[in-house]
Structure 1
Amino acid sequence: MSTRLSIEPFDGTNFLNWKFRVESLLAENDVLDCISKQTKKDEKGSKKDARARNIIVQSIADSQLSVLRGKETACEMWRALVNTFEKKGLCGKIILKKKLLGIKMDSSESIHDYTQRFESIVSELRTIGEDMKEDEIICQFLMGVSDKFSTIVSIIENSDQDDLTFEYVKRRLHNEEEKHGVNNSTPVHNPTAFQANKPVCFRCGKHGHFQKKCFLNRNGSKYRRGGGRGHSNHGSGYSNHGSGYSNHGSGYSNHGSGYP
């Protein structure tokens, strides 16, 4: 009998992954046939079935053992598990489709973890016979990616569709994540992100300069310097009120962010 490898007990989630591991373990112990058909009730068959039952039971969490109670053979146990946890038919397909359409990458989640969640759903759909094309998979995957990858997603969307593969998309996003940090919530390559470090003009509202250096202040038709303290701008037909600062040294005062 082969040495048994450790399998995380099935707790009701990720059934397909657990099923794959247990089937591999059953095959290694030469008892895989016990879950597909009833074994002969002779001494050899009974021993094989007992080994198969033991592997299954020891690979199930306590919270799920009720599914196996009352089942006398490994085949009965296996069918009970498959019927309970493996999503089949139209109902199962609808559930998985909704799950795929609603999947979103969490703000603190890595591309690796998001990809694993996504591929798990795709794998389940394919197991129940759903034929998913490459472009459909890519589309659904990119729709769920965090906004911090918005720029690289746009680049991918506008690339040559004939050569686009899911593996390529995953690799591009992984590369971007490694460059800019796993949990960085700032959009990758987003030009507006760099504006945050630049000064903001309270007159025109643009980045890159202060109010006193605003181009509006240099427009002679709108602003005329006066000759003394407290002198306001008149003569151009309007006054500036409410800008929040006074420029007494220059002989005029600005009290407005704009003009009526």
Structure 2
Amino acid sequence: MASINPLAFIEKLTGRDNYNTWKFAVKSYLEHEDLWECIDPGAKDAQKDVKAKSKIILLIDPVNYIHVQEARTAREVWLNLQRAFDDSGLSRKVGLLKDLITTSLDSCSNVEEYVNKVMSTAHKLRNIGFAVDDEWLGTLLLAGLPDTYKPMIMAIESSGVSISADFVKTKILQDVKSSDSAAFYTNYSKRNVHKFSRNKGHGKGPRCYTCNEYGHKSTNCTSSKKKESKSKSNNSNSGFVAAFSAFSVSVDNCWVIDSGASVHMTNREDWLYDRKTATVATIKMADSKSLQVKGCGNLNLQIPGSGNNTQVIQFI
């Protein structure tokens, strides 16, 4: 069985845009081959030097051969490329920073592309000596998300967890994966639940459980299926309305919030204001038991760590 050439997995040097990642990959490769000594401090073994020089040149796009044709050693090749493409000047920093702060999920084809673009741009800035604070980068990842992700941001805020780029990146990617699971249904039969569990795809953004399309959530759906769903819910006394949302745990009035739910539950009718008749008569729980809905209204909920700010949340 033929062995795989590691050179095939390293992207060729095309210019300034990929120089830093190329340099990292090639340095690691030369170290693995015991050839980095030809670059730093410089070759003492002529045979090794020829080998290192050849390998570096094979990893350069032919359009860039002009920078290394006169080089006699592997070290000269390396330094020539560094002088040509290692741009750490102000213009480069300004360009990368502009790309970083203007990148948004709406400008990318999917969540994975958005996260990768932000993280790779920040990595390029750090490689040229520009300090990118980890908490600031995590906050920037959240700032580039559309309004459909606001519940997730509120949940992170109320959790008290320290913001970091890795934490936010993981949270965003998990949110997309969780949109493929049966966490929250509105007026869905068991047949539809099984259908959607089999119909997982590589959608762009969150999936709507009303029209089964990607790019928006059910609360923002404008399809004709949503209108039909609303009509059915108004004429039916039963429905799979919400999974566990917000409920009183004990007499000390603690709360548990489900950021994915648009309507929450409480047994404290006296806390609600703007009370009105609910659109559904019963709520079916995860254990198949049904609860009677007496009405719905709003509640001003104080979020820890938010100062004097309150969140107005709808309850049934």
The question of a shared fold, defined as TM-score above 0.5 by the shorter chain, is answered with yes
User: What are the Cα deviations for residues 189-231 of structure 1, in whole angstroms up to 9, with x where unaligned?
Assistant: x6243786227xxxxxxxx98xxxxxxxxxxxxxxxxxxxxxx
Partner of 1:198 in structure 2? 227
Partner of 2:290 in structure 1? none
Partner of 2:38 in structure 1? 34
Tell whether the 8 Å contact from 1:36 to 1:75 is kept in structure 2 after alignment: yes
Q: Higher strand fraction: Structure 1 or Structure 2?
A: 2
1:53 aligns with 2:21: no
1:172 aligns with 2:167: no
Label 1:50 to 1:133 Cα distance change in 2 as closer, same or farther (>3 A).
same
Partner of 2:142 in structure 1? 142
Q: Determine helix, strand or coil for the equivalent of 1:14.
A: helix
2:6 and 2:113 map into 1 onto residues whose CA distance is 25
Aligned partner of 1:11 among 14, 23, 47: 14
Unaligned residue ranges in structure 2 (runs of 5+) = 181-202, 208-213, 235-316
2:153 and 2:22 map into 1 onto residues whose CA distance is 33
Unaligned residue ranges in structure 1 (runs of 5+) = 200-207, 210-260
Moved more, 85-94 or 145-154: 145-154
Q: Partner amino acid for 1:81?
A: L
Tell whether the 8 Å contact from 2:103 to 2:144 is kept in structure 1 after alignment: yes
Partner of 1:100 in structure 2? 100
Q: Higher helix fraction: Structure 1 or Structure 2?
A: 1
Partner of 2:83 in structure 1? 83
Tell whether the 8 Å contact from 1:137 to 1:166 is kept in structure 2 after alignment: yes
User: What are the Cα deviations for residues 26-49 of structure 1, in whole angstroms up to 9, with x where unaligned?
Assistant: 112222122234434xxx3x2222
2:148 and 2:64 map into 1 onto residues whose CA distance is 40
**Matching of residues 148-187 of structure 1 within 5 Å:** 148-156=148-156, 158-160=157-159, 162-180=161-179, 182-183=203-204, 184=207, 185-187=214-216
Tell whether the 8 Å contact from 1:68 to 1:77 is kept in structure 2 after alignment: yes
Label 1:106 to 1:50 Cα distance change in 2 as closer, same or farther (>3 A).
farther
Q: How well do the aligned residues superpose, as a CA RMSD in angstroms?
A: 3.3
1:123 and 1:68 map into 2 onto residues whose CA distance is 27
Tell whether the 8 Å contact from 1:148 to 1:186 is kept in structure 2 after alignment: no
Tell whether the 8 Å contact from 2:99 to 2:121 is kept in structure 1 after alignment: yes
Q: Determine helix, strand or coil for the equivalent of 1:8.
A: coil
Q: Determine helix, strand or coil for the equivalent of 2:115.
A: helix
Structure with bigger gyration radius: 1
**Deviation >4 Å, runs of 4+:** none
Offset of 1:99 from its aligned partner?
A: 1.8
2:59 and 2:115 map into 1 onto residues whose CA distance is 26
Tell whether the 8 Å contact from 2:138 to 2:166 is kept in structure 1 after alignment: no
Q: Partner amino acid for 2:49?
A: D
TM-score by length of 2: 0.53
Offset of 1:136 from its aligned partner?
A: 0.5
Tell whether the 8 Å contact from 1:150 to 1:187 is kept in structure 2 after alignment: no
Q: Determine helix, strand or coil for the equivalent of 1:145.
A: coil
Aligned length in residues:
198
Identical-pair percentage: 24
Q: Partner amino acid for 2:6?
A: L
Q: Determine helix, strand or coil for the equivalent of 1:163.
A: coil
